[in-house]
Amino acid sequence: MKCLICHDEWLPPVSLAMLLTLRQADVCCPRCRARFIRLEGNRCERCSRLSDQAICEDCIGWERRKTVLKQNVSVYMYNDWMKEVMNRFKFRGDYALVEAFRFDVRRVFDEHFSSDVCLVPIPLSSSRLAERGFNQAEAIASLLSVPMIFALQRIDDEKQSKKTRRERFVGRKFCLTGEDVAEKRIVIVDDIYTTGATVHEAAKLLYDAGAREICSFTLVRS
C-alpha cells in the first residue's frame, strides 16, 4: 500500500490482534508515523502545553480573565513536520490526511472524556469553507463516535494564522446558532491551540447559553 503522506510503497505488518479486532492497518509508513510526536510527560494540566508548572503562565492569565473553559487536551506537539502536514490538510485541501490522525485522536480523547459529551467543532466562515472545501475541525470531530452540535457561527473572516498574538485576543469571532446546549457537557473541537483565544471565546458563548461544563480538544498544541 502507499503511505498517505509520503506516497511511498510499504507493506504494513499484520498481527493476530489486528485480525481479531478488525483494526485497520496504519495508513502511514513507519518513517512518517515516527515524525508525529504525541504530547507526553510534564504538561500544563489546563492546556496541554509542555511545562514543568502544573498550571502555565498563559493559563494563569486566563484564570484572571475568569475563563469558563475547564481544560484543553491536545494530541500532538507542533513541530516542522506537523506544520507541513497541517498546511497540506488545511490550506491545500488534502482531506484524506485526517485518516493519519484517527488512531491517536480516538485514543487520547477516550483517555480524557466520557461518552456523554457533545462535540462543538469550531466553524469556518462561509467564504473560508468555500475556499477549503471542508472544515478541518469538523473533520477531526468526525473521527470520534460522539454526537456533534453545530452551535457556533463564524463572524470573523480573517485567518487566525495571519494574526499577531495580540490581534487574536481582540474582536468577536463567533455568534450562537440557536442550537440547544443547555445543561450539556461540551467539548469544543479545533485543529490547533496557540493562544487559546478561539476556544476560550467559544466556551464563554456556550456557557452563557447554558452549557454545564466546557472543555476543548485540539489536534495540536502550538
Q: What is the 3-state secondary structure (H, E, C) of the chain?
A: CECCCCCCECCCCCCHHHHHHCCCCCCCCHHHHCCCCECCCCECCCCCCECCCCCCHHHHHHHHCCCCCCCEEEEEECCHHHHHHHHHHHHCCCHHHHHHHHHHHHHHHHHHCCCCCEEEECCCCHHHHHHHCCCHHHHHHCCCCCCECCCEEECCCCCHHHCCCCHHHCCCCEEECCCCCCCCEEEEEEEEECCCHHHHHHHHHHHHCCCCEEEEEEEEEC
Q: For 22-38, write each residue's pLDDT tens digit.
A: 567 899 999 999 999 99
Average pLDDT for 35-50 = 96
Average pLDDT for 169-178 = 80
Domain spans, the chain? 1-34, 38-221
Q: For 133-151, write each residue's pLDDT tens digit.
A: 999 999 999 999 999 999 9
What is the per-residue pLDDT for 18? 55
pLDDT at residue 221 greater than cutoff 60: yes
> Is it true that domain 38-221 has CATH number 3.40.50?
yes
pLDDT at residue 5 greater than cutoff 90: yes
